[in-house]
Amino acid sequence: MKVLFLDIDSLRVDHVSGYGYDRETTPNIDTLIEDGVAFERGYVANSPCMPSRAALSSGRYGIANGVETHGRQSQQMNRPANQTDWAGSWTENQPDRPWWTLPELFFQNGVRTIGVSSFPRHPAPWFYHVWHEFVQPQEPDEDMTTEWGHVSFQTPRAEAVVDESIDALERTDGRDVFLYAQFWDPHAPYNRSDDEIARFQDGTLPPFPTAEQLDRHRTWDAVRSATHTGIESRDDLADLIAAYDAEIHYADRHVGRLLDYLRETDQYDEFLIVLSGDHGEEFGEHGLYREHWSTHDGTQRVPMVVKPPRDTAVDPGIRDHLVTNVDFAPTIADYLGEPPPDRWQGRSLRPIIESAGADWRDAVVFDHGLYTAQRATRTNRWKLIHTLHPGMWRGVLPDYQLYDMHADPWEQTDVSDEYPDVVDRLEERATRWADRHREGRVDPLERVADHGPSGYRSFEADFEGV
């Protein structure tokens, strides 16, 4: 079996033209959507980068795999190998199979596993464990000076990721492979030229933040608030969004190169291709600009596209089912023909890929743990956000927020006081979900809240609060 997983950092779904965005940001991704199934209500189970990829690779929610934030609390994944001094090897009965990660599943089945990613620069050993080959593209040569000073963060470009991916595929000589290609673009800092940005200057700005909201945000003294990012007007917001869209278009161009390589080598139809993001990006809808900091849709909702291999059933189109990236691992295992490890917690998407009318779940639960500690419960109509730790936004974030996602998709009006019965019902549902999925006695998100989210702890000495 041949699998390509395209993981695009900071890609929010409503900036993908194939999902209805009015700027042509993603012509190549749009073609992939036409060839498969796109999920309109796809959420990462955990955000941001490290927790999201832990959920993806482990097939388990952060409440089970233990990775809910960055920093020291993210370094180990909950599994027996990290909880015992036993130094044995695999046995005939495969005692560790229930905790296999997605790359381990392929590795143990003799399928070549290749990762191309800048992500190991986050010090997370669990992520690059058990790959046949893992490649980290070299930094660009140019002086990367931004508002942070000289960058020592992730800066490899999509071009380098695709170059390395194509080289790796050529070495497989057409054999079965699981290739994971992770694109740092369109994460900040934005590096596109003035000409690249100019093509996205025209277009309708989102309705929020309004000019009045933006003025209010400029009174806040917090990381990524308007004052900290130089946003003084909606014109400044337009410039910021144009730069973001240019980064998306750049990443899409190189995604297209990789897909074209598969077509030119007559492999495109053979591949199961999955495309998603690790999280989105918010642009002031709730007061923060160019940041991923909450369980609001701008951070948590991402494109999720599956193009099945030739000779498998597919009902192409857009789906409105509620899915999370924990569902990807069992989906890929399903196409591989392998039963998912017992500890995996997602569901294979294959039934709804094959038929838009297939039965599915009616709610999802997901967490954010870097700048705040939040858990959200999303049903068809409602979204309840429970803030366990407000991070840098004390006095702004209440313990509970409830949004009617039909009437208020931008999550602007908290109606928790009007519908206390809905708050109680969804909170009870989240509690049952946590009891069902938690491994161990402690909820890792509660531990994050007790210690303070990693991003909050990194910046808490640098701000006075909002």
Which residues share a beta bridge with 382? 404
Q: What is the CATH number of the domain that holds 262?
A: 3.40.720.10
Cβ atoms of 196 and 243 closer than 8 Å: no
* Total count of domains within the chain: 1
Looking at the domain assignment, is residue 389 inside a domain? Answer: no
- Please report the pLDDT score of residue 394 as a whole number: 86
* Domain enclosing residue 46, as ranges: 2-82+96-360
Residue 67's pLDDT band, with cuts at 50, 70 and 90, is very high
Looking at the domain assignment, is residue 273 inside a domain? Answer: yes
Helix (H) or strand (E) holding 276: strand 271-277
Question: In the predicted model, is pLDDT for residue 151 greater than 60?
Answer: no
Looking at the domain assignment, is residue 13 inside a domain? Answer: yes
- Please report the pLDDT score of residue 458 as a whole number: 81
Which residues share a beta bridge with 145? 150
CA distances (Å), origin 211, targets 92, 207, 208, 284: 65, 10, 8, 11
- Please report the pLDDT score of residue 456 as a whole number: 85
- pLDDT tens per residue across span 281-312: 999 999 999 999 999 999 999 999 999 999 99
The pTM of this model reads 0.95
In 405-431, which positions are buried (b, 16+ CB within 10 angstroms) versus exposed (e)? beeeebbeeeebeeeeebbeebbeebe
Q: Distance between CA 25 and CA 15 in Å, rounded?
A: 7
- pLDDT tens per residue across span 179-236: 999 999 999 889 899 999 999 998 899 999 999 999 999 998 878 889 989 999 999 9
Rounded (5°) CA angle 436-74-299? 75
Residue 119's pLDDT band, with cuts at 50, 70 and 90, is confident
Helix, strand, coil shares, percent, the chain, to 5: 35, 20, 45
List the single range of 66-80, 170-184, 344-358, 416-430 with lowest mean pLDDT: 66-80
DSSP class per residue in 211-256: HHHHHHHTT-BSTTSHHHHT--SHHHHHHHHHHHHHHHHHHHHHHH
Q: Distance between CA 322 and CA 320 in Å, rounded?
A: 7
Looking at the domain assignment, is residue 54 inside a domain? Answer: yes
Q: What separation, in Å, do the N-terminal and C-terminal C-alpha atoms of the chain show?
A: 52
Looking at the domain assignment, is residue 112 inside a domain? Answer: yes
**pLDDT above 90 as % of the chain:** 80
Segments of 351-391 assigned E as strands: 363-368, 373-379, 382-389
Looking at the domain assignment, is residue 279 inside a domain? Answer: yes
Residue range 99-107: mean pLDDT, rounded: 96
Looking at the domain assignment, is residue 245 inside a domain? Answer: yes
- Please report the pLDDT score of residue 148 as a whole number: 46
Q: Would strands 304-307 and 317-324 be described as parallel, antiparallel, or unpaired?
A: unpaired
Looking at the domain assignment, is residue 232 inside a domain? Answer: yes
